[in-house]
Amino acid sequence: MSARFRPLVGVILGSGLGAVADAVQRPRVTSYTDLPGFPRPTVEGHAGQLIEGTVAGVPVAVLQGRAHLYEGGPIEAIRAPVRWLRAAGAEILVQTNAAGSLRPEVGPGRLMAVTDHINLTGTSALVGPNDAGVGPRFPAMGRAYDPALLDALRTAAATLGIDLAEGVYTGWLGPSFETAAEIRAIRVLGGDAVGMSTVQETIVARHCGLRVAAVSAITNLAEGLSDVPLSHEQTLADAARAAGDLSRLLVAAIPLLVTGTC
């Protein structure tokens, strides 16, 4: 039997951001239903699949589909894919997500590199017994988003002429969007964007020793900053607008991310 494929980089794709998966060369696709602990399909029919292959010559594992806290499923569905990546040999996790912007000048269709996060979900995927073989009971979250990986994203964006914003991502439990007052509060707290994913995976990834980078595709201005009513349909439509740029950005950034890793 041949040795198992060893990804160096894991990529988690957010809602409507599937275009990145098309960039994987010689893809090998595995359904989440064949992977223990991974998210099961939801009523909304989110497909979940793992795509292994290469991007610009770098071995990657792309996770298309993620579990969200608001779905109310087992927390293992958030933990398992991240820990699977680490166990498979990955050293870097790149996350993408759809997010609302709290900065009027960073509007729909823009990309924002995540510099840090604020977890307002009220929980952590690490609540419960700790497996010391995976990571420490109290993992530090300083530099949760790796400065060297952020630099690689900046370089790739500059090369491509993509105007990459930077800011703090705020994790929101959902499934309701925020009120205008909540958005004003998040602004005071220091949030630049808000979304319903990413922070839990970052916590799990740092716990097990993965370096993390994340990019938000801005799909809307947050509640109270514009008259456009928020809806999931609008989020998906605007995510599709940003998906092309995001795909180009990741393809250019992936070889830069692993410099010094191999």
Residues lying near ligand HPA in the complex (CB under 6 A) are found at: 98-100, 172, 177-178, 194-196, 219-220, 222, 230, 235
The CA-atom distances, in angstroms, between 75 and each of 37, 39, 72, 238 are 9, 9, 8, 28
- 19 Cβ contact list (under 8 Å, min separation 6): 240, 243, 244, 246, 247
CB 250 to ligand HPA: min, Å? 19
Neighbours of 116 (CB within 10 A): 18
Distance in angstroms (rounded) separating the CA atoms of residues 66 and 48: 7
Residue 68 annotated to the active site: yes
Check: CB of residue 165 under 8 Å from CB of residue 111.
yes
Give the containing element (helix H, strand E) for 242: helix 232-257
- Residue among 23, 68, 101, 112 flagged as catalytic: 68
Q: Is 51 or 196 the residue whose CB approaches ligand HPA more closely?
A: 196
Residue 176 annotated to the active site: no
Beta bridge partners of residue 97, listed in sequence order: 216
Q: Is 135 or 195 the residue whose CB approaches ligand HPA more closely?
A: 195
Both tokens of residue 208? 């097990």
Residue 88 annotated to the active site: no
CB 20 to ligand HPA: min, Å? 17
CB 178 to ligand HPA: min, Å? 6
- Residue among 19, 77, 90, 196 flagged as catalytic: 196
- Residue among 46, 91, 166, 226 flagged as catalytic: 46
Q: Is 96 or 219 the residue whose CB approaches ligand HPA more closely?
A: 219
Neighbours of 187 (CB within 10 A): 17
Residue 197 annotated to the active site: yes
Residue 46 annotated to the active site: yes
Q: Is 65 or 100 the residue whose CB approaches ligand HPA more closely?
A: 100
CB 216 to ligand HPA: min, Å? 9
Residue 220 annotated to the active site: yes
- Residue among 90, 98, 125, 152 flagged as catalytic: 98
Amino acid at 49: Q
Residue 117 annotated to the active site: no
CB 26 to ligand HPA: min, Å? 32
- Tokens 């530099």 correspond to 143
Residue 98 annotated to the active site: yes
Check: CB of residue 124 under 8 Å from CB of residue 138.
no
Ordered DSSP codes for 191-231: -SEEESSSHHHHHHHHHTT-EEEEEEEEEEEPTTS-SSPP-
Q: Is 15 or 247 the residue whose CB approaches ligand HPA more closely?
A: 15
DSSP 61: E
Known catalytic residues are: 15, 46, 68, 70-71, 98, 196-197, 220, 232
